[in-house]
Amino acid sequence: MTKYAIIGAGNAGLAMAAHLKQIGGEVSLYDVVETQLTPVIENDNTIIVTGIDLGGSQKIDQVTMNLAEAVEGAELIICVTPAHTHKFVARDLAEHLVSGQILLLHPGRTGGVLEVHKVLQAQKCQADVLVMEAQTLLYAARKEGASVNLFGLKKQVSCAGLAQAENQRFFDLIQPHLPQFIPAPTLWHTSLHNIGMLFHPTPTLLNLGRMESGQPFEYYIDGFSPSIAALVEKLDAERLAVASAMGITVPSVMAWLESSYGVVGENLYEALQNADNYRGITAPHLASVEAKKGLRYVTEDVPTGLVPVSELGRKFGVETPAIDTIINLADILFEANFRAGGRHLEQLGLQDLSLDEIVKL
């Protein structure tokens, strides 16, 4: 029986833990925040699954705040925390990893594997660990207490790591159970295929007024007005231009929606109106002015998505005015410097590499 360690007991963390238990794995669920685990512990370590059927409630083998216990003996460690915390997870994991383990960033966003590799090296981690990143989350899910509601399960999620010759170890382990995880040609195909940076910061920033007013609305259906959807398509065009300059072909956001959920439309706005998998996912209700600083759709996806794509654009001579505008708007509204604190070229270990060397990663 394969042992899986899930790091992060949020929406997707509970979904992943329940799903892996349903397919017959031994599952350990870890979180650094006690209140994330308490509802599951109080429910006899059991996660209640609604929406898409995963065989009903699933009892998890181990629910713990002890990281060493969680990852001991795990063949596959799956990090399902927001991407801007990956560097902290890697720092804490470094002393507990053993050679042969696989670490999957689910998802990696842009440059996740590069950032984690750099942190593990800085921590002098001696274990020979295969680090992989998923292009996106497998699940569209929302949790409440010990329950998680699955709105959608993607048809496929591409994954990659730095060592192509070793990546097959991951697929041999996971594909018999979760065939949705498929190989990407290179690491840049997953990192530049980061859809979260499109779907999250722009609609969130431009709907802050509605969120602060307490007016309920569906995030993907109501939050993407025709104008907001058109702006997101401009960000998508810039992302595709950066990828093209690097010799990488990645799907557009429209192509991704069709391949992931079978959703089509004349434009992004129309496609999202047809996306039944996103119906019922409500936008956050911000109870205070300070509450916005907990919005991971900005605090995660700006520094780990928009920032590295903008940085790569600058390196490869591609202008990204729409992306830069959203980064600047996020800085102003959140009183932050997401570029300085995000995955800039130095943070990813790319600042001294030539264009050819970056592409060949």
Residues known to be catalytic: 200, 301
- Rounded to an integer, what distance in angstroms lies between the CA atom of residue 92 and that of residue 299? 21
Question: Which amino acid, residue 349?
Answer: G
- 347 touches 118 (CB < 8 A): yes
Instruction: Spell out the residues 6+ positions from residue 67 whose beta carbon is closer than 8 angstroms to its own.
Output: 7, 30, 32, 92, 93, 96
CB 235 within 8 A of CB 323: yes
CB 76 within 8 A of CB 159: no
**d(C-alpha 82, C-alpha 55), whole Å:** 27
> In b/e form, how buried is each residue of 71-99, taking b as 16+ CB within 10 angstroms?
beebbbbbbbbbbbbbbebbebbbebbee
| Cα→Cα distances 339→120, 303, 323, 328, 335, Å | 22, 6, 12, 9, 12
Q: How far apart are CA 246 and CA 342, in angstroms?
A: 21
The residue whose two tokens read 């999957």 is 104
**For residues 205 and 298, is the Cβ–Cβ distance under 8 A?**
yes
**Phi and psi of 256, rounded to 5°?**
-65, -45
The answer for residues whose C-beta is within 8 angstroms of residue 158's C-beta and 6 or more apart is: 134, 135, 181, 182, 183, 184, 189, 190, 193
